[in-house]
Amino acid sequence: MLDKRLLSILVCPVSKASLEYDREQQELVCRASGLAYPIRDGIPVMLESEARRLSVDEKLDKSGRTSPPQ
């Protein structure tokens, strides 16, 4: 689990926008830059070179769902 205080002060190093914690994927997601930063051994890796590019669906849908709810 990521410390809420840490999450409140971390920002995307590319866009300086706030991040969302994705517990399932163990990533910090920035929709502004379209990047997801991995969390390894409880430590956020805040390097653009280590980040995963978000898909179009992930950028648009804050819940991470790719289909509408039933």
Which domains are present in the chain?
Answer: 4-60 (2.20.25.10)
Query: Which of the pair, 68 or 55, is modelled with greater confidence?
Result: 55
The answer to whether 5 touches 47, Cβ cutoff 8 Å, is no
Q: Which residues contact 43 (CB under 8 A, 6 or more apart)?
A: none
The answer to whether 33 touches 14, Cβ cutoff 8 Å, is yes
What was the pLDDT predicted at 68? Answer: 39
Cβ neighbours of 22 (radius 10 Å): 15
Confidence at 62, pLDDT banded by 50, 70, 90: low
Encode pLDDT of 1-60 as tens digits: 788 898 899 999 999 999 999 999 999 999 999 999 999 999 999 999 999 999 998 888
pTM metric for this prediction: 0.81
